[in-house]
Structure 1
Amino acid sequence: MSGIHIPELCGAILLPDTVLFPHGALPLHIFEDRYREMLEDALESDCMICVGTLLEEESNNYAQCVNPIGTVGLIRTSREMEDGRSNLVLHGVYRVRFSAWPGGKNYPYAHIVPMSADPFPSDKGPAMAKKLRGKVNEVLTVFPEEVKREINLVLDRAQCEPAILADAISQQFVQDPEVRLQLLGEPAIDARYEILFRYLTQIRENWQQN
């Protein structure tokens, strides 16, 4: 994704309990007039839209009601229906901080700043990745073989990049909105791994108890 230009200003779709991670995919159904306008503007420019998580009921004070960190995504497919609604798939590109909401549009419009991850400890990388994949495979024991193969193929491709591996697992396995926000906002990749270790262990323990 390093070759993709991240705009300084970008439209944002605001959703409760929704987090998109870099390299993840999010299907969206666009029906509100303001978001139809946002999609049209995006398709005519850089094909990018941000996903912001609502922390409370939406208001005009976006700095208060939206999580300060979101993800800018690239529109991969977009299909408009006869009534003007659209179905699209947004591919996560980069974590961003919403630094300001300047307005001037009929939809949420933000000044965004890309967020870089803290350096990953290279001496611990292989061992941590192996441990994390082990936790994933423990969880996958309850899934059909075909699902296991497909998920492991995705994770195999991400294995060489610690940040991508963590984001891929976060997108696929973490359902708790609060934990997803924690993972999105954590700048240290090794800390993301620790959060995932705890979460996947808890999932496995809960399944064993039930």
Structure 2
Amino acid sequence: MSSLHIPEICGAMLLPDCTLFPHGGLPLHIYEPRYRQMLHDALEDSCFFAVACLTGEETDDPAECTAPVGTVGLIRASREMEDGSSNLLLHGVIRVRFTEWIQDASYPKARLSPLPAIFEPESQSEAAIESLREAAESATRQLPEEVRNTVMEMSQQIDDPAILADVICQQFLHQPEERQQMLETESVAARIAWLCRELAS
């Protein structure tokens, strides 16, 4: 993902109770005219748009009604339907802070500041990964064996603690408030510590 060029200004879909994590997938049905235009522009350009979580009733100024941190996603697949709507899969790429909302746009559009995920200290990354794997194993103990095996195989394939934490957040966290809290937590070590406590319990 590091080789991808994230646009400085990007369209954003404002969704209630919806948080997309980097490395996670989000299926979407695009039907509003403004978002149809956003999708068209994205497909003609970089294939990126952001997801921002609404914190209240939507207003004319997204700064008043959205969380400050969201995720830029890459359109992996998009299919236009006969009625003009589209079904697509958005793949999360990187956390971003919405630093400015563009007021004269026909759909929500923001200036972005990327928030790279870096685990520090690097010397403790292996221990962090092992703790996450143990927590995921504990959280899936009551699930069918094939589900447990799939989760553990997935975790064994990831050797970056920041990526593994985001993948686990995407899969295991279901409460909107918790998901947004973890998206906004800048310290990867703090995310991992919180996840290990929650999953173990």
1:39 partner SS: helix
Deviation, structure 1 residue 168: 0.5
Unaligned runs of 5+ in 2: none
Unaligned runs of 5+ in 1: 203-210
Identity of aligned residues (%): 50
Whether the aligned pair in 1 keeps the contact of 2:73 and 2:94 (CA below 8 Å) is: yes
Which residue matches 2:149? 149
Deviation, structure 1 residue 175: 0.8
Which residue matches 2:140? 140
1:4-27 per-residue CA deviation (whole Å, 9 max, x = no partner) reads: 000011000011111000000000
1:103-160 per-residue CA deviation (whole Å, 9 max, x = no partner) reads: 33211011111012354222322222212211111111122222222222222222x1
Task: Supply the distance in 2 between the matched residues of 1:67 and 1:57 (Cα, whole angstroms).
Answer: 12
Q: Does 1:83 align with 2:99?
A: no
Q: Does 1:100 align with 2:103?
A: no
Task: Supply the distance in 2 between the matched residues of 1:5 and 1:34 (Cα, whole angstroms).
Answer: 24
Mean CA deviation greater in 37-46 or 141-150: 141-150
Which residue matches 2:129? 129
1:91 partner SS: strand
Task: Supply the distance in 1 between the matched residues of 2:52 and 2:190 (Cα, whole angstroms).
Answer: 22
- After TM superposition, the runs of 4+ consecutive aligned structure 1 residues lying more than 4 A away are none
Whether the aligned pair in 2 keeps the contact of 1:19 and 1:70 (CA below 8 Å) is: yes
Which residue matches 1:51? 51
Which residue matches 1:72? 72
The residue type paired with residue 7 of structure 2 is: P
1:50-96 per-residue CA deviation (whole Å, 9 max, x = no partner) reads: 00000011101211111010000000000110001110000000100
RMSD: 1.2
Task: Supply the distance in 1 between the matched residues of 2:103 and 2:64 (Cα, whole angstroms).
Answer: 15
Q: Does 1:34 align with 2:34?
A: yes
Whether the aligned pair in 2 keeps the contact of 1:51 and 1:72 (CA below 8 Å) is: yes
Deviation, structure 1 residue 32: 0.7
Which residue matches 1:163? 162
Which residue matches 1:172? 171
The residue type paired with residue 168 of structure 1 is: V
